[in-house]
Amino acid sequence: MSVKVHKTTNLYKGKIFNVVLEKVTLPNGAVKHREIVRHPGAAATVPFLDDGRVVLIKQYRHAVGDFVWEIPAGTLEPDEAPMACARRELVEETGYEAARLEKLAEILPAPGYTDEHIHIFLATGLRPAEQKLEDDEVLELQPTVLPTALAMVTQGEIRDAKTIAGLWLASLKRS
């Protein structure tokens, strides 16, 4: 059985995402209402310096009221390819550009309530570029050896889903 959407109501139209309420018939026949965050998607990079350290970002995230360890990432602009977004965000947030980007995966960070897809890339051959932080980006860079970054995940210091996925995927690729 397929899903049937009976009605979609726009609840909120924002600068980055929209929220809709949909009345649907689910594959099991149940008719339900679902609130969904419609998101344009994002791209992230796991950037490695030539010495083997991964460039982590400690960034203030108001939604959780704290600083969060992350890999560089950002929202796709209209009609922007994921790889172009990954390149742009890497330069903007870290001040590095990559000679090589390799796609590691496309993840769904919270499929229970959003259609967001995050494209994760491995970035290598880094060279300095001009960092272009936006006025709402409060962050610091912390190059870290991969085993330490992975330990930060297991110790609960890194909690961001895209960062955990990216570090794990990069560790498999680089082993």
Give domain status of residue 29, yes or no: yes
Interatomic CA distance for residues 35 and 94, integer angstroms? 35
pLDDT in tens, 158-172: 999 999 999 999 999
pLDDT in tens, 112-129: 999 999 999 999 999 999
Give domain status of residue 31, yes or no: yes
pLDDT at 45 over 80: yes
Kindly give, in sequence order, each residue whose CB lies less than 8 Å from that of residue 69, ignoring residues fewer than 6 positions away: 56, 57, 58, 142, 152, 157, 158, 159, 160, 163
Which tokens is 52 given?
């083997």
Domain shared by 58 and 18, yes or no: no
Domain shared by 75 and 132, yes or no: yes
pLDDT at 1 over 90: no
pLDDT of residue 145: 97
CATH label of the domain that carries residue 55:
3.90.79.10
Give domain status of residue 110, yes or no: no
Structure pTM?
0.94
Domain that holds residue 10: 4-38
Strand, coil or helix: what is 17?
Answer: coil
What is the rounded average pLDDT for all residues in the chain?
Answer: 96
